[in-house]
Structure 1
């Protein structure tokens, strides 16, 4: 048996707004646009999918409508790393300008240790936490 990571599903109240926000944040393309579900994929996934090996396609993000709002810290979150010439602070500033907000989930306690956080915790417009890491290009 073999499994492949196909997608990450994000519960949200406003499917269109969440999908649009994440599309801007990641530079991804929307490939499904339904009232209750929207799907984003990385731009390279829009090339000829038949010729692209499955292991290079990567997971998509699926946004589905739910009635309830987010109430507690996520048990699972995305870690995002700046790409190429982009630096951590510039990406954090860009995401804040898009409507993200800083959130505290315990990372500030690391500042008092010998292993301070090398990431910033943000939340999307509906409160889903994600991290912006230091560059991982090296």
Structure 2
């Protein structure tokens, strides 16, 4: 027996702003919005919603409020990779223009990823192009 990965929950102070930011970053869409929860999913999850069993749609991101801001380095993070036609530097520049900031977490200069943080300080990595 095994379980199914259902979703990733992001604790945040400003639920709406964080959900909008990540939806813009990923090109995802909001499917549910309330004061205490916002859910975003990839476009294909909506396109196939009527014809695809829920267990085959894949996880989304759920944003829920917490009273405190982020305090320490993430123990879990996302790795994002530009499409083959895009390059890492251009994607990092786009994310920075949306409000991401560069973060030093002890990585050396010769690694193939760049660590950024979202507007509430959650770290994520931008890898080199992959397809």
Q: TM-score range by the shorter chain?
A: over 0.9
The alignment partner of 2:19 has SS state of: helix
Residue 127 of structure 2 is aligned to residue 133 of structure 1: yes
Aligned to 1:123: 117
**Please, which runs of 5 or more residues in structure 1 have no aligned partner?**
none
Aligned to 1:87: 87
Aligned length: 131
Partner deviation per Cα, 1:22-68 (whole Å, 9 max, x = no partner): 01110100001010110000000011324225565221000000001
CA contact (8 A) 2:84 2:130 kept: no
- The root-mean-square deviation of aligned C-alpha atoms, in Å, is 1.3
Aligned to 1:25: 25
Change (3 A) 1:136 1:53: farther
Deviation, 1:121, is: 0.2
> What TM-score do you get using the length of structure 1 for normalisation?
0.89
Residue 77 of structure 2 is aligned to residue 77 of structure 1: yes
CA contact (8 A) 2:10 2:64 kept: yes
Alignment of 1:1-138 (within 5 A): 1-52=1-52, 54=54, 56-107=56-107, 110-111=108-109, 116-137=110-131
The alignment partner of 2:22 has SS state of: helix
> What TM-score do you get using the length of structure 2 for normalisation?
0.94
Spell out structure 1 runs of 4+ moving beyond 6 A. Answer: none
Partner deviation per Cα, 1:51-102 (whole Å, 9 max, x = no partner): 2255652210000000011010000000001024111111100000000000
**Please, which runs of 5 or more residues in structure 2 have no aligned partner?**
none
